[in-house]
Amino acid sequence: MTLGHIMFYVLGAGGVASALLVVTRRNPIISALYLIVNFFCLAGLYLTLNAQFIAVIQIIVYAGAIMVLFLFVIMLLNLGDDRKLSDAITVRKVVGAGLTLGLFMEVLYILLTAGPADSERAEAAGIALGTVEAIGAQLFTTFLFPFEVTSLILTAAIVGAVVMAKKKLD
C-alpha cells in the first residue's frame, strides 16, 4: 500500500461519489458543483499516472472554463430550485439504468477475464511521459495538422455559439 495506492483509492472513491451526485441531484447548480469536484478528482488521478500536463489543463479547461460556462448558463436561464423538474421513476429510466448496468457488467467481464497488464514496463516508461515538453514535441511535429485544425473547430464553435445564442434569429 503505497502513497500511490492510497491516492488512487481516495480520488477514485471521490470521483465516483461526485459523479453519482452529479446525476442524482435535482438542482442543476448543485450538480454543477459536484461536477467540479469530479474534475478535480480526475486531475489528481492523472497526476498518479504521471500525466502532469493533462492534469493541469484538466483544471484550467474543464474546471475553469467549461464549468463557468455551465454555471453561467444555469444562472442566465434561472434554473434554480423553482425550476426543478420532477423526475419520477419511469419505465424508460429503469430500462436505461438496466441497460447501462448490463454494459458495465460486460466491461467488467472483459477486464477481469483479460490477462494481467504489464505494469513493470509502464512504471519504467511512465515517469517522463506526461511532461509538457514531451506532449509539446508530439503536438507540434506528428500532430501538427490536427492541432491546427482544432483551431478551426474552436473558431467555428465560437461563431456558432454566438449566432445561436443571439436573441433574434433572422
Partner 1 sequence: MPMISNAPLIVLFPLAGFLLIGLLGWKYRNELVIGIVGSGVIFLSFATAVGVLFEMASLPEEARRSTVQLFPWIGTFTGTSGSLGVSVGYQFDQLSILMTLIVTGVGFLIHVYSIGYMHGDKGYWRFFTYLNLFIFAMLNLVLADNFVLMFFGWEGVGLCSYLLIGFWYEKTFTGDAAKKAFIVNRIGDFGFLLGMFLIMRTFDSLSFTSVMSSASVMPTGTPVMFWIALLLFVGATGKSAQIPLFVWLPDAMAGPTPVSALIHAATMVTAGVYMVARCAPLYALAPDVLMIVAIVGAATAVFAATIGLVQNDIKKVLAYSTISQLGYMFLAMGVAAFSAGIFHVMTHAFFKALLFLGSGAVIHGMHDEQDIQKMGGLKKYLPVTYATFVVGAIAIAGIPPFAGFFSKDEILWNAFSSELGSPVLWTVGALGAVLTAFYMSRLVILTFHGKERFDHHHVHPHEAPKTMTVPLVVLAGLSFVGGWLGVPASWGLGNVVEDWLNPVFEPARHKLMLAEHESHAAEFTLMTISVVLAASGIYAAWRWYVQHTDVPDRIAGKFARTYRILLNKYYVDEAYDAVVVRPTQTASDKFLWKGVDVIIIDGAVNGTAKVIAIAAQTVRRVQTGVAQSYAMVIVAGIVAVIAALLFI
Partner 2 sequence: MVPIPYYLVLSAAMFMIGAVGVLTRRNAIIVFMSIELMLNSVNLTLVAFSVATGTITGQVLVFFVMTVAAAEAAVGLAIIIALYRRKQTVNLDEINILKW
- Interacting positions 33-52 with partner 2 (CB under 8 A): 35, 38-39, 42, 45-46, 48-51
State the virtual CA torsion across 28, 44, 132, 145 in degrees, nearest 10.
-40
Distance CA 95, CA 78 (A): 31
Q: Which is nearer to partner 1, 4 or 102 (CB)?
A: 102
The entry of partner 2, partner 1, none that residue 56 binds, CB within 5 to 8 Å by partner kind: none
Q: Which of 60, 94, 99, 159 binds partner 1 (CB under 8 A)?
A: 99
**Grid coordinates standing for 121?**
514496463
Whether the CB-CB separation of 57 and 39 falls below 8 Å is answered with: no
Say whether residue 82 binds partner 2 (CB under 8 A).
Answer: no
Return the half-sphere exposure (C-beta side, CA atoms, 13 A cut-off) of residue 33.
5
Distance CA 160, CA 166 (A): 10
Compute CA distances 90 → 24, 84, 93, 95, whole Å.
15, 17, 5, 9
Question: Going residue by residue from 36 to 75, which x/- string records binding to partner 1, judged by CB under 8 A?
Answer: ----------------------------------------
Residues that bind partner 2 (rule: CB under 8 A) add up to a total of: 89
Q: Which is nearer to partner 1, 19 or 139 (CB)?
A: 19
Shortest spacing between CB 130 and partner 2, in angstroms: 6
